[in-house]
């Protein structure tokens, strides 16, 4: 069997890994083995946190809606109101409700009023 030297591919891989690890701190940006390890962890964290981000935003929207409700009526709570909104047939999602509560309080007040009535 003929001998295969891996110089070209090894250099290409090394360059690719170090380019991806650019901006990492200490050895992880200059040392190939440390950079490989850091990239493996970074990829795993990125995958997991793409899912976590969805929950983070949902929690943020819930807080914004609750704050908007409390501004209208201090006795109103998010959990009771969202249940009543579902029964009333309000089809707005939490993202748009949070946007209304934060930037268009008068429109949000109308939505809240339709659920109350």
Alpha-carbon distance values, 11 to 8, 19, 37, 49 (Å): 5, 12, 18, 32
> In this structure, which CATH number among 3.40.50.150, 3.40.50.720, 3.90.1330.10, 1.10.1900.20 belongs to the domain 8-116?
1.10.1900.20
For residue 81, count CB atoms less than 10 angstroms from its CB and return exposed for 0-12, middle for 13-18, buried for 19 or more: buried
- How far is Cα 89 from Cα 74, in angstroms, rounded to an integer? 23
Please give the model's pTM, rounded to 2 decimal places. 0.74
- How far is Cα 3 from Cα 36, in angstroms, rounded to an integer? 27
Q: Where are the domains of the chain?
A: 8-116
Each residue of 55-88: pLDDT tens digit?
999 999 999 999 999 999 999 999 999 999 999 9
**Contact of 65 with 94, CB cutoff 8 Å:** yes
Residue 115 has pLDDT above 90, yes or no: no
């Amino acid at each position: 069997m003929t001998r295969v030297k891996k110089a070209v591919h090894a250099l290409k891989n090394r360059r690719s890994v170090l380019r991806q690890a650019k901006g990492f701190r200490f050895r992880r940006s200059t040392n190939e083995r440390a950079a490989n390890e850091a990239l493996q962890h970074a990829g795993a964290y990125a995958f997991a946190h793409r899912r976590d981000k969805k929950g983070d935003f949902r929690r943020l929207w819930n807080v914004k809606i609750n704050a908007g409700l409390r501004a209208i009526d201090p006795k109103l709570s998010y959990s009771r109101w969202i249940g009543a909104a579902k029964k009333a047939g309000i089809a707005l999602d939490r993202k748009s409700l949070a946007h209304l509560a934060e930037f268009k309080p008068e429109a949000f007040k109308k939505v809240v009023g339709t659920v109350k009535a």
